Structure 1
């Protein structure tokens, strides 16, 4: 295992660029990356940014908004949150296997009396309160599994900066998402600042992997990381993108996450389809969206388009009939 030193950078645009650069360009070995971001909202790959954030609050408080390449939901980062990323070879036993990558971290937390466990799709919880959310991304050959560790974050900022959807609140069975989130500091026997916590987790992982080594990027590598940041993670197109034109919206929360469809139908044909949500999938939904362009908005034709599609590649464990029903259910609008 090689630990990638991010040199204390707290700009989320640089840190996400570093993570992607390492994934795509470093030799095929196992890596670990830690980073701490200044106040920011990190948007899931498939989400509609403007519907996930409180835009006026974000702008007034100079909070970064950055889209990541992995799926899942929007999360709030600040100086009280430690992010970890395991970068490895892709294999079918690792993709969507969050236990494999969170278990070493959970073991370290357990060693200091924090009764952490993996629960639900991708959350580490203590007493049913979330202290970590996790997501994954795969290129087909390489992948990373990354997550948050809320040590001492300003949890009130979560509800101020994000637009938390009612469907998510209902699905969690709580009156608010804020009530089910916790800081690890609440469960520690002794106070620990974020830098001490970072060192503690890293030393624990070093003990698990005796052949650990630390890697510092070369000036040329940092130049490439900053170029990726400027060309992608610092751009409006990547982080926000234009809101799609649509005349049909259909959304539903499934066990795999929420799927939100925006469909523009003109003269009975699908001119555009956009798929948003906090689901996890191996393949980019853009390739699924493109299959419907120009096709009749008709259940039989939509079913025909879906027939050869492996729907699990885009959403995880979702039944194709459920997606068809969402895309073209019984209650159709008059167009």
Structure 2
């Protein structure tokens, strides 16, 4: 096994890097480590709008990314270590213990007693520290991907992924995230350690103390950056995928009770009703039909009313 650690903290680039290594591993098993700037990352087949408070995330300018594997929505920041393992596999069935057990051994070296929980998670004293997912699209190989909460801002994590008063009913079969209480690994370390210490024990556990970092060349970085911008920064991959649903919200507009009902297909508002018994909202209703169900687009269209639709 060889390892790469990304020097970029752009979550779009790092998703593209993982994808590049998955499709170009040249029969090598790989450990990839990276840290992202503040971002929210949803599973490949999830409905973004069911998982993320887009109004709060949009106001904060926090990017939302759709990753390559399934599983739940996770929060990334500079205190969260992300890892991917590309390995040979004789089965197309998920086998999380194969990769999570070595991580528990690595954490023990830091004085942390973590356990495998719910099949695909790691926990300490009942609190989750790691969410994991896998895919088997290439015969004989598995991509295992996970997060490790080392010193993340847990208050922001809860803030960005909490549910609003709006109701979203998906029309496609999507995997919803399971909410659990979380904690940081650093709180349990026997010494005042850094996220780089965590990276080092993972490398030693999976590869050995003499492991050497591998590098990509400029043409490869250019291909990865191109994919990062075209796919992972693109609206189609991140927002329109599995975005077929009904939206309902009871709200107030100019002090009057109102309600909003939208039919969204592939991220486009196909039909909608914005109704109040007290004021005429038909003009607003007509404005949104045919528009992307997108916080930034609707904010540009109606900056003082965007909160009605999220």
TM-score normalised by length of structure 1: 0.65
Following superposition, the deviation at residue 199 of structure 1 comes to 2.8
Query: Structure 1: how far apart are the matches of 2:36 and 2:95?
Result: 25
Aligned equivalent of 1:5: 5
Match of 2:58 in 1: 59
1:104 equivalenced with 2:102 (yes/no): yes
CA distance in 1, matches of 2:179, 2:227: 34
State the partner residue of 1:140: 138
C-alpha RMSD over aligned residues: 2.6
Partner of 2:187 in structure 1? 186
The residue that corresponds to 1:261 in the other structure is none
Alpha-carbon distance between aligned partners in 1 of 2:23 and 2:65, rounded to the nearest angstrom: 19
Matches within 5 A, 1:292-303: none
Secondary structure of the 2:28 match is: coil
Deviation at 1:177, TM superposition (A): 4.2
* 1:20-39 equivalent positions in 2, closer than 5 A: 20-39=19-38
Superimposed CA distance per residue, residues 228-251 of structure 1 (whole angstroms, 9 cap, x where no aligned partner):
11221110111111732669xxxx
* Residues 245, 58 of structure 1: alpha-carbon distance in 2 compared, 3 angstrom cutoff: closer
1:114 touches 1:184 (CA, 8 Å); kept in 2? yes
With over 3 angstroms needed to count, the CA separation of the structure-2 counterparts of 1:3 and 1:245, relative to structure 1, is closer
Corresponding position of 2:81: 82
More off after superposition, 107-116 vs 73-82 = 107-116
After superposition, the C-alpha distances for 1:246-278 in whole angstroms (9 at most, x for unaligned) are 69xxxxxxxxxxxxxxxx9xxxxxxx999xxxx
For structure 2, list consecutive stretches of 5 or more residues without a partner in the other structure. Answer: 166-177, 248-262, 268-310
The two structures have a TM-score, normalised by structure 2, of 0.70
The answer to whether the 8 A contact 2:43-2:72 is kept is yes
- Contact (CA 8 Å) 2:78, 2:152: kept in 1 or not? yes
Residues 153-192 of structure 1, C-alpha deviation per residue, up to 9 Å, x if partnerless? 01111211013599xxxxxxxxx946x2110011111122
Structure 1 counterpart of 2:157? 158
| Conserved 8 A contact 2:43-2:67 | yes
Q: CA deviation digits over 1:285-317, x for unaligned, max 9?
A: xxxxxxxxxxxxxxxxxxxxxxxxxxxxxxxxx
What CA distance in whole angstroms lies between the structure 1 residues aligned with 2:61 and 2:194?
Answer: 24
Q: Secondary structure at the match of 2:119?
A: coil
Question: CA offset at residue 104 of structure 1?
Answer: 1.2
1:89 Cα offset (Å): 2.8
Alpha-carbon distance, 1:65 to partner = 0.3
When residues 14 and 273 of structure 1 are mapped into structure 2, their CA distance, relative to the original with a 3 A threshold, is closer
The aligned runs of 1:250-269 (5 Å cut-off) are none
Aligned to 2:13: 14
Q: By how many angstroms is 1:193 displaced? A: 2.2
* Distance of 2:206 and 2:44 partners within structure 1: 28
Corresponding position of 2:128: 130
The number of equivalent residue pairs is: 237
1:185-235 C-alpha deviation (Å, 9 max, x unpaired): 111111222233323432343438x6x442100111111111211221110
Change (3 A) 1:214 1:207: same
Partner-residue secondary structure (3-state), 2:134? strand
CA distance in 2, matches of 1:204, 1:26: 21
CA distance in 1, matches of 2:95, 2:201: 25
**Conserved 8 A contact 2:2-2:214:** yes
- CA contact 2:240–2:266 (8 Å) conserved in 1: no
1:71 touches 1:135 (CA, 8 Å); kept in 2?
Answer: yes
